[in-house]
Structure 1
Amino acid sequence: MSDIDTAAVPAFIARESFIELTARERAQHLLDAGTFRELLGPFDRMTSPWLPMQGIVCQADDGAVIARGTIDGEPAVVCAIESAFQGGSIGEVSGSKIAAALELALRDCERGTIVRPVIVFETGGVRLQEANLGLAVIAEIQAAIVALRRHVPVVGVIAGMVGCFGGMSLAAALCTRLVMTRQGRLGMNGPEVIEQEAGIEELDAGDRRRIWQLIGGEQRVASGLADHLVDDDAHEIGAAVRAAFAAGVPSVHRTEAVDRYLSLLASVDPRMISPGDMRVLFGSRDDR
Structure 2
Amino acid sequence: MSTTDVAIPTLLHDSFIELSARERARALLDAGTFRELLGPFDRIESPWLPMQGIVCQVDDGVVIARGTIDGEPAVVAAIESAFQGGSIGEVSGSKIAGALELALRDCERGRIVRPVVLFETGGVRLQEANLGLAVIAEIQAAIIALRRHVPVVGVIAGMVGCFGGMSLAAALCSYLVVTKQGRLGMNGPEVIEQEAGIDELDASDRRRIWQLIGGEQRAVTGLADMLIQDDVATVHHAVRQAFARGVPATHRSEDVAAYLARLGEIDPVTVSPESMRAVFRSVADGKENV
Q: Which TM class, normalised by the smaller chain length?
A: over 0.9
Match of 1:119, SS?
Answer: strand
Task: Provide closer, same or farther for how the CA distance between residues 114 and 94 of structure 1 changes in structure 2, counting only shifts above 3 A.
Answer: same
Task: Provide closer, same or farther for how the CA distance between residues 17 and 6 of structure 1 changes in structure 2, counting only shifts above 3 A.
Answer: closer
Match of 2:282, SS?
Answer: coil
Task: Provide closer, same or farther for how the CA distance between residues 107 and 74 of structure 1 changes in structure 2, counting only shifts above 3 A.
Answer: same
Partner of 1:122: 120
* Equivalent of residue 277 in structure 2, options 271, 279, 282: 279
Q: Is 1:66 aligned with 2:49?
A: no
Partner of 2:50: 52
Give me the whole-angstrom Cα distance separating, in 2, the residues matched to 1:205 and 1:7.
Answer: 30
Give me the whole-angstrom Cα distance separating, in 2, the residues matched to 1:118 and 1:6.
Answer: 20
CA RMSD of aligned residues (A): 1.6
Percent of aligned pairs with the same residue?
Answer: 76
Give 1:284 deviation, angstroms: 1.6
Deviations 1:136-185 (A, max 9, x none): 00000000000000011000000000000000000000000110000000
Partner of 1:86: 84
Is the contact made by 1:64 and 1:81 (CA closer than 8 Å) also made in structure 2? yes
Task: Provide closer, same or farther for how the CA distance between residues 78 and 223 of structure 1 changes in structure 2, counting only shifts above 3 A.
Answer: same
Partner of 1:141: 139
Partner of 2:103: 105
Give me the whole-angstrom Cα distance separating, in 2, the residues matched to 1:194 and 1:4.
Answer: 29
Give me the whole-angstrom Cα distance separating, in 2, the residues matched to 1:158 and 1:41.
Answer: 23
Give 1:4 deviation, angstroms: 6.7
Partner of 1:35: 33
Match of 1:69, SS?
Answer: strand
Task: Provide closer, same or farther for how the CA distance between residues 93 and 279 of structure 1 changes in structure 2, counting only shifts above 3 A.
Answer: same
Give 1:12 deviation, angstroms: 12
Task: Provide closer, same or farther for how the CA distance between residues 191 and 7 of structure 1 changes in structure 2, counting only shifts above 3 A.
Answer: closer
Is the contact made by 2:5 and 2:227 (CA closer than 8 Å) also made in structure 1? no
Deviations 1:19-75 (A, max 9, x none): 000000000000000000000000000010000011100000000000000000000
Give me the whole-angstrom Cα distance separating, in 1, the residues matched to 2:67 and 2:4.
Answer: 24
Partner of 1:18: 16
Structure 2 segments unaligned to the other structure (5+ residues): none
Give 1:266 deviation, angstroms: 1.2
Is the contact made by 2:265 and 2:279 (CA closer than 8 Å) also made in structure 1? no
Deviations 1:90-126 (A, max 9, x none): 0000000000000000000000010000000000000
Give 1:5 deviation, angstroms: 9.2
Residue 29 of structure 1 aligns to which amino acid in structure 2?
A
* Equivalent of residue 151 in structure 1, options 149, 152, 176: 149
Task: Provide closer, same or farther for how the CA distance between residues 74 and 12 of structure 1 changes in structure 2, counting only shifts above 3 A.
Answer: farther
Is the contact made by 1:264 and 1:281 (CA closer than 8 Å) also made in structure 2? yes
Give 1:273 deviation, angstroms: 2.1
Give me the whole-angstrom Cα distance separating, in 1, the residues matched to 2:156 and 2:167.
Answer: 10
Match of 1:268, SS?
Answer: coil
Structure 1 segments unaligned to the other structure (5+ residues): none
TM-score (norm 1): 0.96
Give me the whole-angstrom Cα distance separating, in 2, the residues matched to 1:7 and 1:231.
Answer: 7
Q: How many equivalent pairs are there?
A: 286
Q: Is 1:170 aligned with 2:162?
A: no
Give me the whole-angstrom Cα distance separating, in 1, the residues matched to 2:5 and 2:85.
Answer: 31
Task: Provide closer, same or farther for how the CA distance between residues 12 and 84 of structure 1 changes in structure 2, counting only shifts above 3 A.
Answer: closer
Is the contact made by 2:178 and 2:215 (CA closer than 8 Å) also made in structure 1? yes
Give 1:198 deviation, angstroms: 0.2
Is the contact made by 1:79 and 1:119 (CA closer than 8 Å) also made in structure 2? yes
Residue 66 of structure 2 aligns to which amino acid in structure 1?
R
Residue 118 of structure 1 aligns to which amino acid in structure 2?
V
* Equivalent of residue 251 in structure 1, options 246, 249, 252: 249
Q: Is 1:269 aligned with 2:267?
A: yes
Match of 1:61, SS?
Answer: coil
Structure 1 stretches of 4+ moved >3 Å: 2-9, 11-14, 285-288
TM-score (norm 2): 0.95
